Chains A and B, each alone.
Chain A
Amino acid sequence: EPEVTQTPSHQVTQMGQEVILRCVPISNHLYFYWYRQILGQKVEFLVSFYNNEISEKSEIFDDQFSVERPDGSNFTLKIRSTKLEDSAMYFCASSEAPHEQFFGPGTRLTVL
């Protein structure tokens, strides 16, 4: 069964450093998303991406965040200068149409 994959599973970084989280969406899906979940809190929407551009972003997704689809299979989230409050699980999701989003296993980001 096709699934969304994410790497790395755990990323530890120093405050102020740049990180790139990688995702491989399900191959025939056209819509891509990033969500995050701070420990013990709700899953929160960050950004959606369709037709090679951002279709929507939340207030969390400020100038420190960017997304890219560098080739036909990868979808990345970059945080330029990490802060302590960026520590969270980051989930990539994809969908064939804008519903029934399938989530990856997540990357746990720890900012020290």
Chain B
Amino acid sequence: EDQVTQSPEALRLQEGESSSLNCSYTVSGLRGLFWYRQDPGKGPEFLFTLYSAGEEKEKERLKATLTKKESFLHITAPKPEDSATYLCAVYPYSGAGSYQLTFGKGTKLSVIP
């Protein structure tokens, strides 16, 4: 069974205090790993796709990296507007016609001014 575990569950940072969020996964084969941002009461907002170990993607203060067992979302000098829940999802090899994403529970990030 495909599993996605995110840690920590919650993270409080001071504005400007850099940190990393972790997503570890167990899948039979990985077609892709996705990071989403979710604000309260809203839908997941797409951030990044990573396809192979060693790949990195950047967007403003966020950088996502991927290894064979986990992904990290690095947040550099965060601002209060970065406060949200960050979701990791995997797109595994599950046979032809299978397109479902398996999500982790998310990390709730709070950035304090």
Residues on A lying within 8 angstroms of B by beta carbon are: 4, 31, 33, 35, 41-45, 48, 50, 55-56, 58, 89, 91, 95, 98-106, 108
Contact = CB atoms under 8 A, between A and B. Distances in A.
B59 interface: no
A78 to B, nearest CB: 20
A19 to B, nearest CB: 18
A68 B91 CA distance: 24
Contacts of B32: 99-100
Interface residues of B, number: 24
B97 A55 contact: yes
A31 B99 contact: yes
Contacts, number: 64
A104 B87 CA distance: 15
A101 B100 CA distance: 10
Interface residues of A, dominant DSSP: strand
* Residue from the set B31, B89, B104 with the largest chain A CB neighbour count within 10 Å: B89
9 contacts: A43-B87, A43-B103, A48-B99, A55-B99, A100-B34, A100-B46, A101-B46, A104-B43, A105-B42
Contacts of B98: 48, 55-56
A42 B43 contact: no
B49 A100 contact: yes
A106 B89 CA distance: 18
Nearest to B106: A42
When A and B form their complex, which 7 residue pairs have the shortest distance between CB atoms, in order from nearest? A103-B43, A45-B100, A98-B99, A43-B103, A55-B97, A48-B99, A103-B44
A31 B100 CA distance: 11
* Residue from the set B45, B99, B103, B105 with the largest chain A CB neighbour count within 10 Å: B99
